[in-house]
Amino acid sequence: MQSNVAETFRNGTALVTGCTGVLGKLLTEKLLRSCPVKTIAIIVRNKKEFTAEQRAENIYKETIFDCLREKKPNFMNHIKVIDGYLEGPDLGISSTDREWIIENVNFVFHCAATVRFNEPLEKAIKINIQGTEKLLALATEIKNIKGFVHVSTAYSNFYLDEIKEQFYPVPITAKDLYDLLDIEDSSIKNNSILRRCSNTYYFTKAITENLISTNDNRLPISIFRPSIIGCTQSEPFSGWVKNLNAATGVIVSHIIGMTTFPMNNSTYRIDIIPIDYTVNALISVMWDTVQRCQDSSQKYTEPKIFNFVSGVESPLTYADFFNNIFNSYREAPPLSAVWYYLCIFTTNPLTIKVLRFLLHTVPNAFMDLYLLAIGKKPKILKMYGKLELSHDLLRSFVVRNWTFHNNNTRELWSLLSQEDRKTFWYSFEEFDFKEYIKIYVQAVRKCILDEDQSNIKEALAKTRSTISEKKSD
C-alpha cells in the first residue's frame, strides 16, 4: 500500500529554508528518505569562511544522514543549494535562482528564523517578519505552488495562558512597526509597546502570524506551531540531538551539576515534542494544505493553524520531567559532571538570588581562586554568569502553565491512512515520557557531552564518591 502523504510529493520540488538548523535538517532528511521528491531546494547563507555550498556539503556528512546515505547513496543529486539570507534584498537570492524557484518549486517549508530570545529587535524584525514577507511575495510568483507551511511556535501568543489554533490580536502590526523603523532608531527604543517586549523572538513570531492571517497573497498556506522540540524518539535513529537550545540546555546543565534549581513550579506542565514526530507532523500539514487548497476557492480562506504539542494527550509536569532526568542520570551520569545532580524548585526571585549566591557564586569564586593559584585563567564565574543569563531568559517562559488546544492536528491524524501513520507517526496518545526522557538524557550524554557507554562504570564510581564526599561534609 502506498502512502498518500508521500505521494503528494512525487516528482515535486520542495523549497526549504532553515535547513542548516535542527528542524530543517531533519525535514530534508525525512523528505528525501520517505517521499519521492524530485528536488529539494535549500536556501543557505554564507557563514564565516564557508560558502552556502560548503556549508550544505558539511551538513550532509553528519551522522544523522547515515541512514539516508545507505538508502539513497546519491541523495545529494536531489539537493539544490541556493545562496541567500532572509534579511537580504529579495532574500539575497540571485535573479537566476529566483527564476528557477518561480518555474520549479511546488512546496515551501519556511523553517528559518532567528530563535534567540534576546535578539536585538530590529534584527529579529528583519529576519523573522520581513524575511517571511519576502518569502511570501516570492511564493506568490511561483507558477505551480501547491502548499506553503510557515513554521511558527506554540508560544507565539506568549501573553495568553490558553492557546487555541486560531489567530489572536497583536499589540502592533507589521506595518506600524515598519513605520517606526523608518522614522528613526530612537522611536523604536522609546515606543511603549516595544519597551515591554523583552522576548523579541515570540514578539516577532506573533506579528509574522498576524501578517499571514489576512493571506493577502492568496496562497495555499498553513501555520505550524510546535512547542519545545527535543531529541529524536526513533527516526532516523533514536536519541539524536544537536544544539543546546531549550530543554537540551536544561538537561545538560542539570546532569553535569551546573544548575541546582529550576525556576518553576513543579506542578506546572512542560510541553516537549520529539523532533522526528515534529517533522512527520510538518510533512502531514503540508499534505493537508495541498489537499485543502486543491479546490481553488479554498486558497483564499484564512490560513489553517496546527498546534503541535504533546500535553493535550500526554501531559508532563516539571516534577516528572526532572524526576525522570534524575532517574536516567542515576543509571548513567556523565563523567564530565562537575557536581552532583540537585534539584530545588522555587519561583521566588529572592530565593533564587540567595541560592545562586550560596551554590554558584561562593564555590565558583573559590574554584577561580584555585585556578589563579595554579597559574590558570579563572573562568568558572564567567561560565556560570552565561548559564544564569540563559536561565533568566527562560524565566518568563517557565513560570507559566499553558493550556494548548490541538483539534486541527488531531483531526489531521484521524485523516491519515494506516500506511501514512506508519511512515509519518506523530500521535501522542499513550506517549511514554519516562522512556523518552531516558533516551533524551542518553542522547545528551552522547551527542552533546561526547561520552559513550564505555565510561558508565567509571562515571558511576565518580558520582558515588561525590555523594559520599557530600555526606561526610
Ligand X SMILES: NC(=O)c1ccc[n+]([C@@H]2O[C@H](COP(=O)([O-])OP(=O)(O)OC[C@H]3O[C@@H](n4cnc5c(N)ncnc54)[C@H](OP(=O)(O)O)[C@@H]3O)[C@@H](O)[C@H]2O)c1
Residue ranges in contact with ligand X by CB under 6 A = 18, 20-24, 45, 47, 85-87, 111-115, 127, 151, 153, 226, 228-229, 243, 245-246
* Least spacing, CB of residue 424 vs ligand X, in Å: 18
Collapse the DSSP code of 185 into the 3-class scheme (helix H, G, I; strand E, B; otherwise coil) and give the result.
helix
Nearer to ligand X, 55 or 304 (CB): 55
Nearer to ligand X, 18 or 147 (CB): 18
In 3D space, the residue among 394, 366, 398 whose CA is nearest the CA of residue 381 turns out to be 366
As a whole number of angstroms, the distance between CA 226 and CA 200 comes to: 18
Torsions phi, psi of 58, nearest 5? -65, -40
For residue 463, the number of C-alpha atoms closer than 13 Å in the C-beta half-sphere is 22
Residue whose cell numbers read 506568549:
158
* Least spacing, CB of residue 111 vs ligand X, in Å: 4
Classify residue 295 by burial, with Cβ atoms within 10 Å: 0-12, 13-18, 19+. exposed
Q: Is the peptide bond before 236 cis (omega within 30 degrees of 0)?
A: yes
H helix runs in 60-120, sequence order: 66-71, 95-104
As a whole number of angstroms, the distance between CA 55 and CA 46 comes to: 8
* Least spacing, CB of residue 18 vs ligand X, in Å: 3
H helix runs in 295-377, sequence order: 318-331, 349-355, 362-373
Position with the least CB separation from ligand X: 21
Nearer to ligand X, 85 or 148 (CB): 85
Nearer to ligand X, 130 or 260 (CB): 130
Nearer to ligand X, 124 or 145 (CB): 124
Nearer to ligand X, 12 or 249 (CB): 249
* Least spacing, CB of residue 150 vs ligand X, in Å: 8
In 3D space, the residue among 416, 440, 230 whose CA is nearest the CA of residue 328 turns out to be 440
* Least spacing, CB of residue 243 vs ligand X, in Å: 6
* Least spacing, CB of residue 247 vs ligand X, in Å: 8
Residue whose cell numbers read 519561583:
347
- How, if at all, do strands 39-44 and 147-151 pair? unpaired
Nearer to ligand X, 80 or 299 (CB): 80
* Least spacing, CB of residue 227 vs ligand X, in Å: 6
Q: Which three cell numbers stand for residue 308?
A: 503541535
Nearer to ligand X, 128 or 260 (CB): 128
As a whole number of angstroms, the distance between CA 363 and CA 310 comes to: 39
How far, rounded to the nearest angstrom, does the alpha carbon of residue 2 sit from its chain's CA centroid?
30
* Least spacing, CB of residue 403 vs ligand X, in Å: 17
* Least spacing, CB of residue 235 vs ligand X, in Å: 16
Nearer to ligand X, 21 or 303 (CB): 21
Nearer to ligand X, 447 or 459 (CB): 447
Q: Which three cell numbers stand for residue 224?
A: 505550524
Secondary element (H or E) of residue 3? none
* Least spacing, CB of residue 365 vs ligand X, in Å: 34
Q: Which three cell numbers stand for residue 342?
A: 540537585
Count Cβ atoms below 10 Å from residue 219 Cβ, excluding itself: 22
- How, if at all, do strands 162-163 and 147-151 pair? unpaired
Nearer to ligand X, 76 or 456 (CB): 76
How far, rounded to the nearest angstrom, does the alpha carbon of residue 371 sit from its chain's CA centroid?
37
Sign of CA dihedral 310, 312, 316, 318: positive
Torsions phi, psi of 318, nearest 5? -60, -35
* Least spacing, CB of residue 159 vs ligand X, in Å: 17
